[in-house]
């Protein structure tokens, strides 16, 4: 069950699909994500991630596209496999595969996303995005807000509304579905 948080944040987590494919998370359902490794920028960003935050899962080269959504199911903690204690990991829960992958080229051509930090440096492994940027990327992937939810609750509230997510689904029905 999704835990609603008053201050849910949104993140981009990047992986090399040759070393880890986001499908692995969907097969397992939940997994310890250790993609930040010992990279200082990634560890610094990962320290800000909290349980309940949403993650847009990005595959780097050769795919260069957003693939799915995950949810942070445990605050970051020291990597149990790191004897030096410098690396952090976070537990992720598979949330939803995107109906359509969104490519890096598409992201760069969208003027609403021109301030996304990740687009200025695609080597970032963990990168924050705003509520509006998150919604825009979901829209590009074919996930649209249910009519009335955005207007009556506000986009931020609709994203955090626990009863909408109680079954582990999305408050956004797939575009083009009945």
pLDDT tens digits along 100-114: 999 999 999 999 999
What is the structure's pLDDT at 71? 98
Task: List the one residue out of 28, 95, 87 whose CA is nearest residue 66.
Answer: 95
Q: Residues 25-74: pLDDT tens digits?
A: 999 999 999 999 989 999 999 999 999 999 999 999 999 999 999 999 99
Structural domains in the chain plus CATH codes? 10-142 (3.10.590.10)
pTM of the model: 0.79
- Taking the C-alpha atoms of residue 87 and residue 99, their distance in angstroms, rounded to an integer, is 33
Structure tokens at 80: 């149990």
């Amino acid at each position: 069950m999704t835990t609603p948080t008053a201050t849910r944040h949104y993140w981009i987590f990047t992986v090399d699909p040759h070393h880890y494919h986001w499908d692995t998370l969907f097969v397992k359902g939940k997994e310890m994500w250790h993609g930040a490794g010992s990279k200082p920028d990634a560890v610094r960003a990962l320290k800000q991630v909290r349980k309940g935050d949403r993650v847009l899962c990005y595959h780097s080269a050769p795919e260069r596209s957003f693939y799915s959504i995950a949810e942070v199911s445990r605050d970051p903690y020291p990597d149990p496999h790191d004897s030096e204690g410098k690396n952090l990991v976070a537990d992720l829960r598979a949330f939803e595969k995107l109906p359509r992958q969104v490519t890096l080229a598409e992201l760069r051509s969208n003027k609403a996303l021109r301030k996304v930090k990740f687009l200025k440096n695609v080597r970032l492994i963990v990168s924050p995005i705003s509520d509006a940027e998150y919604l825009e990327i979901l829209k590009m992937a074919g996930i649209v807000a249910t009519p009335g939810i955005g207007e009556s609750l506000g986009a931020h509230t609709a994203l955090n509304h626990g009863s909408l997510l109680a079954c582990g689904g999305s408050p956004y029905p797939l575009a083009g579905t009945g």
